[in-house]
Structure 1
Amino acid sequence: MFRKGLFLLVLVLVHQSLFGQTDWTLKSDKNGLNIYTKTVSSTGLKGIRVKCNLPAKLSQVVALIMDVDAGGEWVYGTKSSYLLKKVSPSELYYYSEVDIPWPISNRDFIAHLKVSQDPFTKVVTIDGPTEANYLPVKPHIVRVNRSNGKWVLTPTKNNIVQIDYTLEVDPGGTIPVWLVNLFATSGPEETFKKMKEQVKKPRYANANLNFIDNQ
């Protein structure tokens, strides 16, 4: 069955940059979750952008995203996710394997997450480019060689965080375009639904990050 793995399957199938472009098409607007797509290559592959509001403090959301060992609990399609190196409280490297339905090979990637906050607006940006050569390639898994995910977290009144998430990736290998496009909204809906519940857990709700100003 087409189930686990489809969210990240969609997200890792972007061949050209998603940033600095304006031709997004709203594909889904349900329960406060806006999912946009656009064609980003001549093959018809879709890019994904997700916008939503999350009832939480900035420190909660950042703590959740940086808790990479727990990625399998809420990020749709994550077979495994674990910390490789913690450079500082606001910077780390982690490994993740994406579960993709047979007969397509799973993908994996090593991401470098780095958090920054604008001292005036308090907007938090989390960049996550890949470091493909950080670890040797594993047998029977296709390594994602080029990727750059980006979270933009904007605080508003009453502890509401506006989330704007985009991702650009060259996934390598061959994956049917119809499979990507068919599930262009299913995965994000599942992930952000789980994110809203995950962020309520005590380890995030009580997070105190000295590099994040909650206002």
Structure 2
Amino acid sequence: MNGTLRLAILLVASMGICGGAVADDWQLAKNEDGIKVYLKDVPGSKYKSFRGVIDIKADVQTLNDLQENLRVACKWLYACKELRLLKNDGDDTWVYMTLQLPWPVISRDMVIHVNTQRTDNGGLVRSLNAVPGYMPPVQGQIRVPELIGQWTMSPRSNGTTEVIYQMRGEPGGSVPPWLSNSFVVDAPMETLRTLRAVAERQPTRASYP
């Protein structure tokens, strides 16, 4: 795909996205500014999954471009400090990301394998999986050992796009409960809010590609 990236992002969540529907075991944690954030317990983990849902006045291609431009993407991704391409192979991309977390927590890094698929309705699904052994450990960073996530973008008839951002993960090391509880709400809320602000400033496209 011309060397541009197939990207998506960030810590902590679960699979099972089905349009805008939310399964019974997802609990609404926050509904603010047109963004809904749902949380779900993960068996065997002390960290919750999150799912953020928003409608954005932009088409799928615009949102795709904002994810594939890593320099721009790191600006709207919550807690992102660095985001760079490691490898691109068709629908598959490997990216390296570092997260700047509040003191005194040591920052985290991760390698994410991203697979991108177009849907029949002109939408986009990006699946994310951490591959911690892809590259050697980096001094001063704690490698995220587990991450499973997904971005789903579904065009609506009114010209907007429904965006669902969902994740589950294990951050590695020790994370205070106050931070983990805050992160699973703040990450989708702030990421989607900032993405919307950036996307809705972009020039309007005449049609989907």
For the 8 Å contact 1:123–1:152, the answer to whether it is kept is: yes
How far did residue 132 of structure 1 move?
1.6
> What TM-score do you get using the length of structure 2 for normalisation?
0.82
Q: Give 2:38's aligned residue.
A: 36
Q: 1:30 to 1:101 in 2, by over 3 A?
A: same
**Unpaired runs of 5+ in structure 1?**
1-7
Over residues 97-133 of structure 1, what are the superposed CA-to-partner deviations in whole Å (9 max), with x where a residue is unaligned?
A: 00111221111111122211123x3332111212222
Cα separation, 2, equivalents of 1:184 and 1:82: 23
RMSD of the TM alignment (CA)? Answer: 2.5
Quote the residue 1:66 is aligned against.
68
The match for 1:19 is 15
Which 10-residue stretch deviates more, 129-138 or 38-47?
A: 38-47
Task: Report the Cα offset of residue 178 of structure 1.
Answer: 2.8
Instruction: Tell me by how many angstroms 1:42 deviates.
Output: 5.5
SS at match of 1:185: helix
How far apart in 1 are the matches of 2:143 and 2:153? 28
Count of aligned positions:
195
CA distance in 1, matches of 2:24, 2:123: 21
- Tell me if structure 1 keeps the 8 A contact 2:108–2:141: yes
TM-score (norm 1): 0.79
Rounded Cα–Cα distance in structure 2 between residues aligned with 1:28 and 1:47: 14
Does structure 1 residue 126 correspond to structure 2 residue 126?
yes
Question: How far does residue 207 in structure 1 lie from its aligned partner after superposition?
Answer: 8.0
**Partner SS, residue 106 of structure 2:** coil
SS of the equivalent of 1:116 reads strand
Helix, strand or coil: the match of 2:72?
Answer: helix
Q: Percent identity?
A: 24
In 2, the alpha carbon distance for the partners of 1:207 and 1:109 equals 34
Aligned partners of 2:127 and 2:205: how far apart in 1? 20
Distance in 2 of aligned mates of 1:25 and 1:108: 29
Distance 1:93 1:47, change over 3 A: same
Letter in 1 for 2:30: S
1:95 aligns with 2:91: no
Cα distance in 1 between the residues matched to 2:205 and 2:137: 35
8 Å CA contact 1:64–1:199 kept in 2: the answer is yes
Partner residue, 1:189 = 189
Q: In structure 1, the residue corresponding to 2:98 is in which secondary structure?
A: strand
